[in-house]
Structure 1
Amino acid sequence: MRKLCSLRWLGSAALALSLLGCGAPREPVALHERNAVPDNLSQWHLVNVTNGTLALNERVIPYDLNTALFTDYAHKLRTVWMPEGTSAGYGDAHFDYPVGTIISKTFYYPLAEDGSVLRTDDYSRDFAENGLDLSNVKLIETRILVKRTDGWQALPYVWNEAQTDAVLEIAGEAMSLQLVNKAGNREAFTYVVPDANQCAGCHADNHTQKAVRPIGPRARHLNKHYEYAAGSENQLVYWQQMGYLSNLPDLAQVPRNVNYRDTSATLDERARSYLDINCGHCHNPSGPADTSGLMLYSAEHDMRKLGVCKPPVAAGTGSGDRLFAIVPGSPEDSILNFRVESTDPGAMMPELGRSLVHEEGAALLDAWIASMPGNCS
């Protein structure tokens, strides 16, 4: 995997000892009580700022997704940690994570020379030998999900300007940034850190139970190879080897989404993977958008429920005055494309997590719908 292939510390707990310097004392990962969460990310001891890098602690392992949720072109470092002697139970739809599991996602941008942030898919400058190179990146936020006895707790931490620690911001945060693309064009935007309730809202993919659950680290998203220190390995197999996953079936039986950028996959597979991770946590039969009747999660195969010739439940600004969610052959007439390409808070989808249009994702959905035969006459 291009993102983390330069991190030689990924596959071994012994190598992880070097992250804090030779012979330096190292605090173990700390599991704080729900009502006593620390004000600073550093108190969890998941990641540590040392020698100009953001390094992972022992038994904190990174992971990646086949297709990731779009967040204003931010790069992301994802990690998982579980208490010694515990493991997640495999499930096709959800893993049964043990109490004490901590999942983190650090959002950051590569830096331009003038301090602006870069819009790029190149991760080669992000990493030093033993971690995230803080001279080349700007840390924005780290979101934590902690599994408690009564369910998951979502906690947003915002990195300080000095890039030495992140502070708990229950109410969220907004920051003005300049995004520079490879052509040198600049785009001002507001990066929004969601508040704790918004985190919980997106992660509660069952609207009836309202239970917070991880979205990304599920079988179909994790089923891919990853460049660990000892070499390339399927992530699910590696989790099993680390003692983090039990009852893993044969990989041939495990669902797998594709990378939406992978042109060797079909256009339908790529578009469905993109919609699944970006929209499926709400647009599923038990999700917050269940009343819309639009089902964009991976298991849906009814074309009407996927939006083909489906009229909106409610017209108005959210429909862009278009008549159907998807009009085969006509992305310009499809509500789905209008909402994905909008930045109007009253119309755009997803509602949270972005201020910018994901141009590559929008182009994929345009091509997907343009390729569909038929019409809505």
Structure 2
Amino acid sequence: MIARGLLLAGLLALGAAASAGGAPPPVPVVSAITGPAMPATLAEFGFFADPRAQLPAAGVIPYRLNTPLYSDGAEKLRFLYLPPGTEARFADDGLPALPVGTALIKTFAFGEGAARRLVETRVLLHRAEGWVALPYVWDEGQSEARLALAGARVPVTTPEGRAISYRVPNRNQCKECHGLNGAVVPIGPKARNLSAAWLAPLVAAGKVNTVPAGADTLPRWEDRATAPVAAAARAYLDVNCAHCHRPGAAASNSGLDLRWEQQDLHALGVMKRPVAAGRGAGAFEFDIVPGHPERSILVHRMRSEEPGVAMPELGKATADAEGTALIERWISAL
């Protein structure tokens, strides 16, 4: 599958063609991104030339992550908007410094082809006072997405055929995953989880300062069967768990640090007793028991769909069977 981010050249050509035909391409509304208001509809931002088809407006760049966050099997359509004349600045393989006026847009969809249903679009806006997270829920007719500060429940069918009540997080719940040291921050587009082939043309276009040495380090999810198991598993934990299980984040009191850069096995949970797991630990003593996934709290909580036990706590209603199998393989090999 071709990475969505590699469509950059095609999007630039689309904008040029529209201009040549006499009709300027649609562009995002800067005041909606940077102003104090919380637009009632997604359309007010102007991120899409065709919202239903998720065709971005001029200057809105699609991208993909090598290893994505699991969200009940939803398809994720990700986009980046940088204000004209600015650039994302990478200093290492982590998150870039993104200028005020940046928007990160992520649409969650279920189904394929004509049957694809857009469920929600989350936007992360970089305003002068910091980052603001806003969730938008698509209507039944797929013509508009409306602001849902209180969150929502939407019945969907997962790719495995399960009917579930999909949870759109409320604005405060967005902070639980995106919170670090009391501030809201992006968590997805780290250089290590972005394709170097996507970054390079953006460097040439002046939208990114460099392709850092650590870019493209995390294995692609579709290559997990052939990638080194430790790398694939650590990438999964970094993307799905480390935004909470790290110093300064929501689950820092657990004592677990599941970031990619963490090398201390005890901090990763190996033979570590839980600090604040409560009943989530079940009958098990250690977060990770080398060679024994069946005795590891980490696997026990990944397998569960019971509130208060299941991990991650937010963002899914189902257990990720493929992700859990990967972590089991890694623990078995320790």
User: TM-score, normalized by length of structure 1?
Assistant: 0.81
CA 1:215 to 1:236, structure 2 compared with 1: closer, same or farther past 3 Å? same
Higher helix proportion: 2
Q: 1:189-247 deviations in whole A, cap 9, x for unaligned?
A: 1111111111122111x2xx31111111111111x25xxxxxxxx1221221232212x
CA distance in 2 between counterparts of 1:243 and 1:292 reads 41
CA distance change for structure 1 residues 136 and 9 in 2, over 3 Å: closer, same or farther?
A: farther
Percentage identity across aligned positions? 40
Cα offsets for 1:65-87 (capped at 9, x unmatched)? 11000000000110001111011
Give the Cα–Cα distance (whole angstroms) in 1 for the partners of residues 82 and 36 of structure 2: 20
Match of 1:287 in 2: 249
1:194 corresponds in structure 2 to: 169
Q: Give SS of 1:147's match.
A: strand
CA distance in 2, matches of 1:344, 1:240: 45
Structure 1 distance, partners of 2:78, 2:328, is: 30
Structure 1 residue 35: Cα displacement: 2.7
Indicate which of 222, 227, 233 corresponds to 1:265: 227
> Does residue 169 in structure 1 map to residue 148 in structure 2?
yes
Q: Does 1:239 align with 2:202?
A: yes
For residues 71-104 of structure 1, what are the alpha-carbon distances to aligned partners after superposition, in whole Å with 9 as ceiling and x for unaligned? 0000011000111101122122321100000110
**Letter aligned with residue 273 of structure 1:** A
> SS of the residue aligned with 2:107?
strand
Q: Secondary structure of 1:155's match? A: strand
Query: AA paired with 2:228?
Result: T
Please tell me whether the aligned partners of residues 27 and 59 of structure 2 are also in contact (alpha carbons under 8 angstroms): no
Mapped partners of 1:76, 1:66: distance in 2: 12
The secondary structure found in structure 2 opposite 1:158 is strand
Which residues of structure 2 form unaligned runs of 5+? none
Can you list the C-alpha shifts for 1:114-136, whole angstroms capped at 9, x where unaligned? xxxxxxxxxxx4xxxxxxxxx23
Residue aligned with 1:361, SS: helix
How many residue pairs match? The answer is 330
In structure 1, the partner of 2:79 is: 79
State the shift of 1:187 in Å: 1.5
Structure 1 CA distance for aligned equivalents of residues 70 and 78 of structure 2: 14
1:88 alignment partner, SS class? coil
Inter-CA distance 72–16: structure 2 relative to 1 (3 Å threshold): farther
Letter in 2 for 1:69: L
Alignment correspondent of 1:344: 306
Aligned to 1:212: 184
Q: Could you tell me whether the CA contact under 8 Å between 2:110 and 2:116 is conserved in 1?
A: yes
Q: Distance in 1 between matches of 2:278 and 2:135?
A: 33
Deviates more, 1:89-98 or 1:349-358: 89-98
Deviation at 1:13, TM superposition (A): 2.0
> In 2, are the aligned partners of 1:315 and 1:321 still within 8 Å (CA)?
no
Q: List structure 1 segments (4+ residues) > 3 angstroms apart after TM superposition.
A: 1-5, 7-12, 16-20, 22-27, 251-255
The change in CA–CA distance for 1:236 and 1:315 in structure 2 (over 3 A counts) is: closer
Partner of 1:321: 283
Inter-partner Cα distance in structure 1 for 2:7 and 2:27: 21
Moved more, 186-195 or 272-281: 186-195
CA contact (8 A) 1:19 1:55 kept: no
Q: Which moved more, 1:39-48 or 1:260-269?
A: 260-269
Distance 1:220 1:19 in 2: 35
